[in-house]
Each structure stands twice: as structure tokens, then as C-alpha cells.
């Protein structure tokens, strides 16, 4: 199968679901591996929400989604409540080998759709200021930079 057919197959067959206990360990590993790739090390104490993902994202106005392809998680994304009408996108991660083929766009679509159904009018997010591929991705999804604090770039998007 050529590469283009394979990419189409992934985009057609990926299934986005709310996380269940059975997928927590795999999701945690994917996220921590991605952070380690970006930072060169990982300190799990900085990620207490990953100890019990289902619990951490079980409150009203929160969700944790996983993208499953061929029985394994290839992407994650979450929304938490930021303020009335405002949600925060967190835990966006795509497994190496599945990046730059539209998987993150699919996850973002599902996150935004969920946010609209929950009544959010705006989403915000932040990413490390040196993670240029993430910054470009968020810009391509119509997120607008509103703050650079020296460490992170902060983005927002109005949902219509």
C-alpha cells in the first residue's frame, strides 16, 4: 500500500472516544513519551492529572479523548473548564510516526465539537514557546496568539 493510501486509511479508520480505565496507562505513556521528546527528560511529579486520568477529567465541563487506530492510542486531547463559557485545551499529543498526517486536526475537530455541545463559546490553550510545530499547528486551526509570557505562547479561539 502506498503512503497516500495508508494516510487516508488512518484518517478514515481512527476512532475518537472518551477515555476509559482500560486505556489510561497507554494514554499516560503516550503523553509522557511526547513530553520527554520535547524536553529531553520527564518529571512525572509535574503531571498529577495523569495518575488517574478518568478521575482527573470526570468533572462537569471536562473531557479526555483518545484516538484509537488498529487497537492502539495514537493521539490524545482534553478540555478542562477555565471560566464561564471558556474551556482549556490540554494534553494534545500525537504518537511519533502519526504526526503531520492530519491526526491532530481530527482530534481538534472532536474537542471543539464537544466544547460547543457543552456550551463553551471560547477555547484557550498554551504551549511552550519553542515548540514551533505545535505553534504552527494551532495557528493553522485559527487559534490566535494573545500572550507570550517568556516561556509559553497562549492562544484562544472563539467558537461559533
CATH number for the domain that contains residue 81: 3.40.630.30
Enter the pTM of the model.
0.92
pLDDT score, position 34 = 92
Task: Give the number of domains in the chain.
Answer: 1
Looking at residues 80-96, what average pLDDT do you find? Answer: 97
Question: Cα 49 to chain center, whole Å?
Answer: 14
Rounded-to-integer distance, Cα 10 and Cα 144, Å:
29
pLDDT tens figures, 31-43: 999 999 888 888 8
Find the range with the poorest average confidence among 30-44, 58-72, 95-109, 127-141: 30-44
Domain that holds residue 83: 3-158
* Higher-pLDDT residue of 21, 42: 21
Confidence of residue 1 (pLDDT cuts 50, 70, 90): very low
- Interaxial angle between packed helices 103-117 and 3-13, expressed in degrees from 0 to 180 and rounded to the nearest 10: 20
Amino acid at each position: 500500500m502506498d503512503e497516500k493510501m495508508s494516510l487516508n486509511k488512518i484518517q478514515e479508520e481512527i476512532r475518537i472516544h472518551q477515555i476509559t480505565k482500560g486505556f489510561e496507562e497507554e494514554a499516560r505513556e503516550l503523553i509522557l513519551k511526547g513530553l520527554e521528546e520535547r524536553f529531553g527528560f520527564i518529571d512525572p511529579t509535574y503531571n498529577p492529572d495523569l495518575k488517574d486520568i478518568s478521575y482527573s477529567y470526570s468533572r462537569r465541563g471536562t473531557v479526555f479523548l483518545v484516538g484509537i487506530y488498529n487497537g492502539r492510542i495514537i493521539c490524545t486531547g482534553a478540555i478542562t473548564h477555565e471560566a464561564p463559557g471558556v474551556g482549556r485545551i490540554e494534553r494534545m499529543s500525537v504518537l511519533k510516526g502519526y504526526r503531520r498526517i492530519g491526526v491532530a486536526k481530527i482530534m481538534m475537530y472532536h474537542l471543539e465539537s464537544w466544547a460547543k455541545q457543552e456550551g463553551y463559546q471560547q477555547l484557550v490553550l498554551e504551549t511552550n514557546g519553542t515548540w514551533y510545530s505545535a505553534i504552527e499547528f494551532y495557528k493553522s486551526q485559527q487559534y490566535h496568539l494573545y500572550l507570550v509570557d517568556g516561556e509559553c505562547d497562549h492562544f484562544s479561539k472563539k467558537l461559533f
